[in-house]
Amino acid sequence: MIGIIDYGMGNLFSVSKALERMEVPYTIGERPEEILNCDGYILPGVGAFPDAMKALKEHGFIDFIKQKVDNQVPIYGICLGMQLLFEQSEEGGLTDGLGLFPGKIVRFSGEDEKGQTYKVPHMGWNQLELHGKSHSLMQNVGEEYVYFVHSYVVDTKSEDILFATADYHKTVPAIVGNNNLVASQFHPEKSGRAGIQLLENFCKRMVKQ
């Protein structure tokens, strides 16, 4: 059973519909006690980082998520849900994140190294560049195009957590992971075959039903 963490800032409809198409059982919880004993969890996210951290705290999910990670329960963060797993974000002033991955969330500058401006947010299809990591999440995932929508991007010096990157005027961490904690900056449920493969790998390879 997959537990979808509902703290009021996630696109639950598209994620739940993707799980239904894969015939993966799931439940949605607004409080930890509603999804206490699931086999794995998805942390979606849409919106601003400070609001999301505040909502996670109000719903009682901060300690819950950290405890599940400590207990090696699989968790998959999506988009803002991925960014929340890092140490800090500069969005709306410096805000502490969950601190489960090393790194900081910064805004795309909108200007490249040659002084040319580019569009922010990064929105649309972009190709993955795989980093050759051997992990069950990445089984049968190739250098395919996936769908991004974000104005802020992970800045991390820890290359060991990078499963895949993309290029949007700078290197964009696209898929990150460490043992049972994984995440993608793009929306897998909106990313065609590659995205569905990632969700299937998480739900059917990483999560012990």
Residue tagged active-site, from 38, 79, 169, 203: 79
Residue tagged active-site, from 122, 150, 187, 203: 187
Q: 87 an active-site residue? A: no
pTM, entire model: 0.96
Q: 122 an active-site residue? A: no
81-104 burial code (b ≥16 CB/10 A, e <16): bbbbbbebbebeeebebbebbebb
Question: DSSP code of 35?
Answer: G
Mind listing the pLDDT tens digit of every residue in the chain (209 residues)? 999 999 999 889 999 999 999 999 999 999 999 999 999 999 999 999 999 999 999 999 999 999 999 999 999 999 999 999 999 999 999 999 999 999 999 999 999 888 899 999 999 999 999 999 899 999 999 999 999 999 999 999 999 999 999 999 999 999 999 999 999 999 999 999 999 999 999 999 999 76
pLDDT at 209: 62
Q: Residue 57: count other Cβ atoms within 10 Å of its Cβ.
A: 12
Q: 203 an active-site residue? A: no
